[in-house]
Chain A
Amino acid sequence: MIDTALWIALALFSAAVALNFYRAVIGPSLPDRILAVDTMYMNSIALIVLFGIWLGSKDYFEAALLIAMLGFVSTIAVCKYLLRGDIIE
């Protein structure tokens, strides 16, 4: 039962990443692209966690945590740059 659910969830998250990539390519404005990349890293966290379940290993947790923290910091940094023209004033 978990195997089937795992494959369905992997397919749904992969489709979500493909849609985010589409928005990041066509996005008409800069905040649109930032939002798309932000969503893409959130979905990639879930993909890595699902991959860890599939292999039955807990080692992928650290990679997911690193992606979460670096993604948040980079989103805030780029938004700050768009707002003020500088990151640390």
Chain B
Amino acid sequence: MLDSILEGVIALTLIAGGAFAFIGSLGLTHLKDFYMRLHGPSKTTTLGVGCTLIGSLIYFSLREGPVIQELLITVFAFITAPVSSHMLAKSALHHKLKPDPRTRGNPIELQSERPKHTLEEEPQGDSPLP
């Protein structure tokens, strides 16, 4: 009885992990600009791989006694995914990749493309200073 319930849990985690990873990769392929594309893999693929590793952990714990090694990769993936996403976003901002018009936010790194006003060109008020 318990074994069949655990088998159902394993099957559920495997299919959920595959579905999450597939949806993340679909987002990586179909979204418009880099700042949108970063969302799919950095959140969804991490969750998908984590689900699959948890399923593998339950499977081998059921067969050959308790194992916790798979938890190591899960924790490692959950720690390192935000770090690599942060570095990728920083390098994309450094290269001034062009955002889609629907992408929200106006980071300071992308604002240098605007025309710069020098002090003489800026309006100084109603009356000029004496």
Contact = CB atoms under 8 A, between A and B. Distances in A.
Contacts of A13: 18, 21-22, 52
B95 A31 contact: yes
Residue from B40, B49, B90 whose CB has the most chain A CB atoms within 10 Å: B49
Q: Please classify the interface of chain B as helix (H, G, I), strand (E, B), loop, or mixed, using the class held by over half of its residues.
A: helix
Contacts of B83: 72, 76
Size bin of chain A's contact surface: 35 or more
Q: Please classify the interface of chain A as helix (H, G, I), strand (E, B), loop, or mixed, using the class held by over half of its residues.
A: helix
Contacts, number: 163
Interface of B: 7-8, 10-12, 14-15, 17-19, 21-22, 24-26, 28-29, 34, 37-38, 40-41, 45-46, 48-49, 52-53, 55-56, 59-60, 63-64, 67, 69-70, 72-73, 76-77, 80-81, 83-84, 87-88, 90-92, 94-95, 97
A-B pairs, top 7 by smallest CB distance, nearest first, are A12-B18, A5-B11, A79-B87, A9-B18, A16-B25, A39-B41, A19-B25
